[in-house]
Amino acid sequence: MHDNYSGPSFPSSSPSLNSGLPSPSSSGPKRVYEVATKRPDAISWDDYFMSIAHLSALRSKDPSTQVGACIVNEWNRIVGIGYNGFPAGCDDDRLPWSREAESELDTKYPYVCHAEMNAILNTNGAESKGCRIYVKLFPCNECAKLIIQSGIREVVYLSDKYHETDSCKASRVLFDMSGVRCRRHEPKIGEIRIDLRLPEGEKGTKQINDDG
């Protein structure tokens, strides 16, 4: 029934979209436009995602070790981030942060959730299968199990300072057997500086409290 439809019709008196603009044949000096090219110093994907892992680590309240993790899918879209800390609802001021104590129950280790665990749990239903995870510290054996079970196929880490521990040795065995690729991040840049202050001379919008 629409075979003869030729599209909407407009009145002949409708103003042209180009009305008011000079025609190509208009006399007068022509404005010369500079052709822009892309910025050559954009950071790499690896540096970008590892930086997000570092930024996430700044949320950790652990006084000795701050770790962040960032999960990314094949289209370079972030599906989950996390950092090390105690479970939701557990008082940061009541649980211990110590690394050593007479009893293990007086250390942080029985209570803390690692960054990889939180990143996986924070995907909020997003598919982690086939993703890669960026993490500041090479995963322990417990996190290695979670990474494998969640379907993540690549681990990109920065530090491997616990390389000789049994935990990390077990992680490498598990990753090797399950086919999860591991590679150390090789940064293209040394540091990234983020300035959250407004540019000089620019005024910000006044924040209005809920109570007015």
Strands 132-137 and 154-159, by their bridges, are: parallel
| DSSP assigned state of 198 | P
pLDDT interval class at 201 (50, 70, 90): confident
pLDDT in tens, 75-132: 999 999 999 999 999 999 999 999 999 999 999 999 999 999 999 999 987 889 999 9
Report the distance separating Cα 159 and Cα 171, nearest Å: 14
Which is catalytic among the residues 104, 116, 127, 200? 116
pLDDT digits (tens, 9 = 90+) for 126-152: 889 999 999 999 999 999 999 999 999
| Residues near 111 by beta carbon (within 8 Å), at least 6 away in sequence | 86, 87, 90, 95, 96
Residues 54-75 have pLDDT tens digits of: 999 999 999 999 999 999 999 9
Model pLDDT, residue 7: 54
**Per-residue pLDDT at 25 exceeds 90:** no
| Mean pLDDT of the 203-208 span | 62
pTM for this model (two decimals): 0.79
What's the rounded mean pLDDT across residues 192-212? 72
Half-sphere exposure of 203 (CA within 13 A, CB side): 3
- Band (pLDDT 50/70/90 cuts) for residue 187 is very high
pLDDT value of position 29: 83
- 119 three-state secondary structure: helix
Helix (H) or strand (E) holding 72: strand 68-72
Q: Is 34 a catalytic residue?
A: no
